[in-house]
Structure 1
């Protein structure tokens, strides 16, 4: 199971959105949703949280997940299990990841995260 997440922000309006792409046995499932207005780093955590909630709700717990994010702060915080400024969001994310059998988190370049990025952009510009 692969999970790609990304957040998008519209600085002028303050709107935020998330894009999540789940790939299971070669089948892609796209998801997108609005997020509460916040800063970029918090939005990236919220996108990851939304992605893991969808994954667990759809496929159940105890999954092996390869989690890809283009947010260095999310990837590093998960790796260290520590974040000074995003402790609440990180704790929520780690709690969700603990429901999985194994989670391998990897930072990827923005260009490698196009699916989730496009979904987040679409959600941002809806309505």
Structure 2
């Protein structure tokens, strides 16, 4: 099983944004920070979520049970309901639906912010580095 933790940080809303991704599995613990460009805080959360799934596929880690954790209720609820009222979020949902087909089993779980400190720290590092 692979666990992925994602979080985003944005300076201003919208503003420069960074994302943090933590991959944890058998003999694997990888920490990644990525620039997300200029976007709103919610868009940044979607972007890092999608980036984490793309990285998982690129690294060929998608042939096992994958649980992706986010502290963004908007992202998790959009995925769970398979519906985005906000027009800005619809492309992210569509991309998720396309990526999901590449996974043996993909579970999306919300977790409280205080349990996502690793990904949060990486997101803040990315924000500082890529401003």
Q: TM-score, normalised by structure 2?
A: 0.90
Moved more, 56-65 or 14-23: 56-65
Q: Does 1:88 align with 2:88?
A: no
Could you report, residue by residue, the CA deviation over 1:38-76 in whole angstroms, capped at 9, with x for unpaired residues? 111111000000101111101244331111000001111
CA distance in 1, matches of 2:17, 2:116: 17
Residue 69 of structure 2: aligned partner? 68
Q: Is the 8 A contact 1:45 1:93 kept in 2?
A: no
Residue 36 of structure 2: aligned partner? 35
Q: Does 1:114 align with 2:114?
A: no
Q: Is the 8 A contact 2:16 2:38 kept in 1?
A: yes
Uncovered stretches (5+) of structure 1, i.e. residues with no partner: none
CA distance in 2, matches of 1:105, 1:20: 14
Shift of residue 97, structure 1, vs aligned partner: 1.9
Could you report, residue by residue, the CA deviation over 1:19-50 in whole angstroms, capped at 9, with x for unpaired residues? 00011115210111101211111110000001
Q: Does 1:79 align with 2:80?
A: yes
RMSD: 1.6
Superposed structure 1 runs of 4+ greater than 2 Å apart: 59-63
Q: Does 1:102 align with 2:130?
A: no
Q: Is the 8 A contact 2:14 2:40 kept in 1?
A: no
CA distance in 2, matches of 1:106, 1:18: 18
Q: TM-score, normalised by structure 1?
A: 0.93
Uncovered stretches (5+) of structure 2, i.e. residues with no partner: none
